[in-house]
Amino acid sequence: MTVQLRPRAALLAVALSAALGSLAPAPVLAKPATVAKVDIPFEQFTLPNGLRVVVHTDRKAPIVAVNIWYHVGSKDEPAGRTGFAHLFEHLMFQGSENHDGEYFEPFKQVGVTGQNGTTNTDRTNYFENVPTTALDMALWMESDRMGHLLGAIDQAALDEQRGVVQNEKRQGENQPYGQVWEKLTRAMYPEGHPYHHSVIGSMNDLNAASLDDVKTWFRTWYGPNNAVLVLAGDIDVATAKEKVARYFGDIPAGPSMAQPKVDVAKREKSTREVMTDKVPQARIYRAWNVAQVGTTDIDQLQLFAQVLGGAKSSRLDQRLLHQDKLVDNISAGAYSSQLGSNFVIMASVKQGVDPAKVEAIIDEEVKRLTKDGPTADELSRGKTAFRAGFIRGIERIGGFGGKADALAECTVYEGDPGCFRTSLATIDAATAAQVRDVGAKWLGAGDHTIVVEPGARVALAELPSETPKPFTVPAVDPSFTTLAQQVDRSTGVPQTKTFPDLKFPELHRATLKNGTQVILAERHDIPVVQFSYEFPGGFTADQGRKSGTANFTMGLLTEGAGKLGALPFADAADALGAKLDASASLDSTSVYLSALKENLAPSLALYADMLRQPRFDQTEIDRVKATWIAGIQQEKVNPSAVAMRVMPTLLYGAGHPYAIPFTGSGNEVDIQSMTREDLVDFHRDWLRPEQGTLIVVGDTTLKDLVPLLERQFGNWKAEGPAPQVKAPVDVARPTQARVYLIDQPGAVQANLFASQVVPSSKDPGSTRFDIANGVLGGDFTSRLNMNLREQKHWSYGAGSSASNTLGQRPWGARAPVQIDKTAEAMQEMRKEIAEFASGAKPATPAEVARIRNIQNLSLPGAYETASAVMGTISGIVRYQRPDDYVVQRKAEIEAMTPAQVQQAAATLDPNALTWVVVGDLKQTEAPVRALNLGQVQVIDAEGKVVAPAAPAAPAAAAPKAR
């Protein structure tokens, strides 16, 4: 349940995201194989009550994506009622008249995946993927909250969700640079414009909301005639017509609400402001108001943004990041909305650099591109990147940016579910002159610039309170009719009796001449092949090396290889529509490729160069090093990231291979001293083909694939003896709880973390522990979240998790809470952990059944994407699991008893927790010390003690089992 700042055309957004990779002179490449045709075919119909339904059939998995969009967002809120659309998104996740209880509960019982809801300026949406056999339940639930919600909304529900939303607002504003978007929105649009206020709204307006207000708001906007329902996946239009008519047909239409007129609010003068925040470096935000969604201009502006700052070697990247080295990162993007869109440039300025110098170069590059236009190569690569992003996006039927989302967005904003075809055709046909001209048309005077400089955080003032305008519900259009009642809601939610079988793809194996094991899972739904070359080591291979060596080395692999420097290498990837990446984790390293099937051979050639011949050019090392260090400094002001930096050493002790920041970034001193020889040595020692496993998932076969792999990798030989990974040794838990406080002056929230080590992922009881964690904090309906969010509404969300590792796993509970509830929230967290671990409040059969269903019944939908399959195969390799591990784990969970889960819960020791609290010390220290949870120390962002520990009273003992 989230706020989205702005909508964008769903699949174009995916394309833009996928395209963040490059642009500049590219090498000549072989002509691609036959280009695959891609599309999202659909059928549609409309019920007599006005509900418009779009259906897309995709039988690859036994799941159906249910995606419903209501055409109401923050733009529709009258004066004095800001935040109502988002508040109501939350209220609609409460119970309805015929379902008393959390909205999520029936979905959890059938293995839902990808369930959520979001609100932006223009619409509110709800979506979930359910097994095909649970479609009746999903439609019953969606129709019950559409047609039978008001009787279930009472003052308690309103107060609860109002508190949750206000904590969501605090959480956003508490982040570094977190106040910028609110200020930018106010500056870009004049008072009275529907976009002048933020989606999340005003605290004052939220506090003033009455029960009558929200009920009138619902009657006005949430009728079937103001909604679009998309059903995508294992369904056909005949089935959809019967089921949708049965569940939605009797819901009366609401009033016909007029949409605000398009008002781009193009600005005539450039304006600017400077603000300070607790941040390590200045950041520049420059924005223009540009053409609305559904126009040729906004589609062409997407290409302009790609060339200007949307790719790894875009104009701004080349100039400011590579050539002049004045920024640590920079981007440009066009973000489309119904009434008008935004074109935004963001730049993080290097420490010691005058932001004005960066601003001047941004001006130069914008003017140069609007004068001369893109080169033919830039334009071609941009188009390829968008097409590749579209292909990857349509692998998913539901969720953010999936096919159902694209169809719904097109239907709501343009009245045509297939509007994405027009946008893609516009981009494909765009000329350099058109891209030049559209930039010149929109990106002249009229921008607003915000420069955030390091300094004290100044609280963001509320918008002036306005006298609320009374809500009046317009009359319902008499032309709408409804179908006869076809479902008896008195019998409750339809029960799902049968479920689809789990089908994990067969694993095909081969061995290359170089000793690498190849594992292939065939997936022929989209013309894409994904590769992950995996090696042992990871952060653990930093033993005896500088902290961060593994991750830093992997990060340099994409900065040039073979004969291609960093920018030409990026251009080559863009020209092929390929995505390449490399990273390290605690126990392994991996090198990734996603290739279009039509360009598989040349993409593999580029991938092989990256793996075998990384250049490690000194200029790129120096550039990335500076940006990397700036990233570490950013981590130290981010409340979650700073906790992840200090917690590992607190848990494992200095010198342990896992005692490295879990962000993988290392520390400034070691990164600053990193040499080219350090990277070459790590690459030689740890990226060895005989120790590698190449996981492949996608549209190919071993017969076609192995010859291509042998051509690129068959003669790859490692140098010297292979180093051995030292197994992480077990560490003892502390003898009593410890509390560490990190100061975040001016914070409006405290971020709470309670952690300890638990047995390895290879431990025979690891699955039982995962189920126990699910009961405690691993799901929205778990104990921690229901307590701190739903019952107390002190937090936007609380939970717990354990990372998968070869050594002892780091387990942790976490909760960002309003700062005046810091101590009380810690008490509640400890109480939940203690009562569960001790058996005072043991796992119930209902809780175990819910987590079992979440884990097992979701499996048919969990492997909808190639990436999900690849992740599971990676675990099979790393933890030496059998090929049928998924099936074996499913059987183990099905047979698991509450007693076994409770036994796993006893793994936790509430008296040996390590607490980290990030917040304003002036508000947190005294109440936390008064809790007497354990020894309390104040530490800095490096984990160094800055205030001595005060004597602590003995920690309270855990409750005894009944």
pLDDT per residue as tens digits for the range 563-606? 999 999 999 999 999 999 999 999 999 999 999 999 999 999 99
- pLDDT higher than 70, residue 30: no
Over residues 795-814, the mean pLDDT reads: 96
What are the residues whose beta carbons fall under 8 Å from the beta carbon of 219, sequence distance 6 or more?
Answer: 150, 254, 473
> Is residue 647 within 8 Å of 662, Cβ to Cβ?
yes
Judged on CB neighbours under 10 Å (0-12, 13-18, 19+), 324 is middle
Rounded to an integer, what distance in angstroms lies between the CA atom of residue 270 and that of residue 286?
10
Distance of CA 60 to the CA centre of its chain: 24
> Is residue 664 within 8 Å of 958, Cβ to Cβ?
no
Over residues 241-265, the mean pLDDT reads: 95
Rounded to an integer, what distance in angstroms lies between the CA atom of residue 389 and that of residue 12?
8
Structure tokens at 715: 């003669």
Over residues 276-305, the mean pLDDT reads: 96
- pLDDT higher than 70, residue 200: yes
CA-to-CA dists, residue 226 to 117, 124, 140, 221, 786, angstroms: 17, 11, 18, 7, 32
- pLDDT higher than 80, residue 179: yes
What percentage of the chain has pLDDT greater than the value 70?
94
| pLDDT value of position 203 | 83
Quick check: helix, strand or coil at residue 452?
strand
What are the residues whose beta carbons fall under 8 Å from the beta carbon of 28, sequence distance 6 or more?
Answer: none
Question: Average model confidence (pLDDT) for the chain?
Answer: 91
DSSP-derived secondary structure letter, 127: E
Name the pLDDT band for 3 (thresholds 50, 70, 90).
low
| pLDDT value of position 948 | 60
Query: Nearest Cα to 148, choosing from 88, 229, 218, 50?
Result: 218
| pLDDT value of position 23 | 27
Least confident of 13-22, 267-276, 358-367, 577-586: 13-22
Name the pLDDT band for 1 (thresholds 50, 70, 90).
low
| pLDDT value of position 135 | 98
| pLDDT value of position 949 | 54
Rounded to an integer, what distance in angstroms lies between the CA atom of residue 927 and that of residue 251?
52
Structure tokens at 554: 């992997």
Name the pLDDT band for 399 (thresholds 50, 70, 90).
confident
| pLDDT value of position 485 | 73
Edge to edge, the sheet with strand 2-3 lists 2-3, 113-119, 124-131, 63-70, 227-233, 52-57, 43-46
Rounded to an integer, what distance in angstroms lies between the CA atom of residue 806 and that of residue 728?
8
Quick check: helix, strand or coil at residue 43?
strand
Q: Backbone phi, then psi, for 329, in 5-degree steps?
A: -160, 155
Query: Nearest Cα to 955, choosing from 915, 916, 926, 912?
Result: 912
> Is residue 144 within 8 Å of 106, Cβ to Cβ?
no
Query: Nearest Cα to 731, choosing from 646, 656, 806?
Result: 656
> Is residue 835 within 8 Å of 686, Cβ to Cβ?
no
Rounded to an integer, what distance in angstroms lies between the CA atom of residue 505 and that of residue 887?
11
Rounded to an integer, what distance in angstroms lies between the CA atom of residue 416 and that of residue 15?
20
Which residues make beta-bridge pairs with 594?
A: 530, 579
- pLDDT higher than 90, residue 296: yes
Query: Nearest Cα to 401, choosing from 414, 420, 382, 385?
Result: 420
pLDDT per residue as tens digits for the range 90-149? 889 988 999 988 899 999 999 999 899 999 999 999 999 999 999 999 999 999 999 999
Structure tokens at 69: 């969009």
CA-to-CA dists, residue 35 to 16, 60, 358, 387, angstroms: 20, 22, 41, 11
Can you give the pTM of this predicted structure? 0.91
Buried b (16+ CB within 10 A) or exposed e, 11-46: bbbbbbbbbbbbbbebeeeeebeeeeeeebebebee
> Is residue 119 within 8 Å of 198, Cβ to Cβ?
no
Please give the helix or strand (H or E) that residue 816 lies within, else none: strand 809-818
| pLDDT value of position 4 | 56
CB count, 10 Å around CB of 803? 14
pLDDT per residue as tens digits for the range 367-386? 999 999 999 999 999 999 88
What are the residues whose beta carbons fall under 8 Å from the beta carbon of 691, sequence distance 6 or more?
Answer: 515, 535, 536, 718, 722
> Is residue 131 within 8 Å of 62, Cβ to Cβ?
yes
Identify residue 342 by its one-letter amino acid code: N
| pLDDT value of position 7 | 38
Over residues 178-197, the mean pLDDT reads: 94
> Is residue 878 within 8 Å of 806, Cβ to Cβ?
yes
Sign of CA dihedral 788, 791, 792, 796: positive
Over residues 755-771, the mean pLDDT reads: 97
| C-alpha gyration radius of the chain | 28
Identify residue 534 by its one-letter amino acid code: E
- pLDDT higher than 80, residue 876: yes
| pLDDT value of position 866 | 94
Structure tokens at 16: 């833009």
Overall residue count recorded for the chain in this entry = 962
Please give the helix or strand (H or E) that residue 553 lies within, else none: helix 549-556
pLDDT per residue as tens digits for the range 33-83? 566 678 999 999 999 999 999 999 999 899 999 999 999 999 999 888 899
Distance of CA 695 to the CA centre of its chain: 24
- Up-side HSE of residue 338: CA atoms within 13 Å toward CB? 24
DSSP-derived secondary structure letter, 790: I
Rounded to an integer, what distance in angstroms lies between the CA atom of residue 551 and that of residue 665?
7
Query: Nearest Cα to 214, choosing from 104, 92, 302?
Result: 92
Structure tokens at 738: 């410890």
